[in-house]
Amino acid sequence: MANTERKETNHQTSPSNTPSRLSWLWSEYSVIIAFLIIFIAASIMSPRFLDINNQLNILMHVSIIGIIALGMTVVMLSGGIDLSVGSVLALVGVITVIALNASGSIFVAVLTAFIVGSFAGLLNGLMVAKGKIASFIATLGMMAAARSIALYIADGGSMSGEVSGFTAIANSDLWMIDYPIIIFLIMTALIYILMHKTRFGRYVYAIGSNEKAAVLSAIRVDRVKLGVYSLAGLLVSVAAIIETSRLNSISSSSSGMLYELDAIAAVIIGGTRMTGGKGKIIGTFFGVLILGILNNTMNLMNVSPHLQGLVKGLIIIIAVVFQKRE
């Protein structure tokens, strides 16, 4: 009799558990599911999509935005935002070319890029953490300032490198895989470990979830925020090196333009909440790939570039709607 009642109880509870399991599955893996759906749809719509060269081309084109998006993810997980990444990229690129031409050393140029990018990020962090300025306003100011300085230094034009070996950074490959792709994958792995396996990562999540509670838990919120924005600036400098190396030049007016919007889009599509505290680096990785696949598929299908922004906008809105339902 007891066994019969137990079976009936299990029979009654299992259907009710099914929706919760499906909800958990969607909550945890929604971006991967969306990626698979879009990947399959793109394969059906365009036979050229599955060509290995096209797949590598997608990865190559998303590598720069992908690296920036990794830093944006860390910032947004802390409850902030960084609108200055595109302008800082242009500024870092301009100063990198100057250092390259003046020293003739690729090492000096790369080191200079790291210093400038990190310093710009540190300034953002100081304004947010110490100045108590809203991240939107602080980074908006940095966006205008960095672009203005880049335009002034380059006299509103472009600057070209004079050391031929510098172009090898973005135009060489290893086993047919371009260096920018390899750098993007390595950066993804490193930031994943940082955010999911270290104390710093746990502190960032804690601050994004509830900053007051983090303060009461003896977390040095200001220091963590300084680290967050400095890290974002460092990743921007990596992207700037690739961007500059690819064409051996940088444009003070157009380089990095609207990169912040693409990076934010990738982060949101990847499931990171704009209010902070929830999101995953792997989600951003797939969010970047989704944007890359959409752009590539629309190009293969000869969709007007003027309409591609509309598609991106719809995808972002849909992603936010699904986040609110979780």
Six-digit token pair at 98? 């100057």
Please state which of the ranges 46-50, 90-94, 121-125, 220-224 shows the lowest mean pLDDT. Answer: 46-50
Q: Mean pLDDT throughout 93-99?
A: 94
Average pLDDT of the chain, as a whole number:
86
H/E stretch holding 312 reads: helix 305-325
**142 in Cβ contact with 124 (< 8 Å):** yes
Lowest mean pLDDT segment, chosen from 6-15, 119-128, 195-204: 6-15
Q: How confident is the model at residue 26 (pLDDT cuts 50, 70, 90)?
A: low
* Percentage of the chain modeled with pLDDT above 90: 48
Is the pLDDT assigned to residue 19 strictly greater than 60? Answer: no
85-89, 254-258, 266-270: which has the highest mean pLDDT? Answer: 85-89
> Tell me, what's the pLDDT at 322?
66
The string of pLDDT tens digits covering residues 294-304 is: 888 888 887 77
Among the residue ranges 12-21, 103-112, 185-194, the one predicted with the least confidence is 12-21
Strands annotated E in 176-304: 177-178, 249-251
**How many C-alpha atoms does 208 have within 13 Å on its Cβ side?**
26
> What percentage of residues in the chain have a pLDDT greater than 70?
90
Cα-Cα-Cα-Cα torsion 89, 94, 95, 99, nearest 10 degrees, comes to 130
By 3-state DSSP, what share of the chain in percent is helix, strand and coil, each rounded to 5?
80, 5, 15
**16-25, 189-198, 210-219 — which one is most confidently predicted on average?**
189-198
* pLDDT per position as a tens digit, 282-297: 999 999 999 999 888 8
Q: What pLDDT does residue 4 have? A: 47
Mean pLDDT of 187-212: 92
Q: Which residue has the higher pLDDT, 224 or 23?
A: 224
Q: Please indicate whether residue 25 or residue 173 has the higher confidence score (pLDDT).
A: 173
Q: How far apart are CA 303 and CA 312, in angstroms?
A: 13
Q: Give the list of residues 6+ apart from residue 44 with CB closer than 8 angstroms, or none.
A: none
Q: How far apart are CA 154 and CA 148, in angstroms?
A: 10
Mean pLDDT of 4-18: 49
Average pLDDT rounded to a whole number, residues 318-324:
67
Q: Which of 49-63, 72-86, 127-141, 185-199 is least confident?
A: 49-63
pLDDT band of residue 82 (cuts 50, 70, 90) is very high
> What is the reported pTM?
0.88
Q: pLDDT of 101-134, one tens digit each?
A: 998 889 999 999 999 999 999 999 999 999 999 9
Task: Examine the pLDDT at 2 and tell me if it is beyond 80.
Answer: no
Give pLDDT, residue 152.
Answer: 94
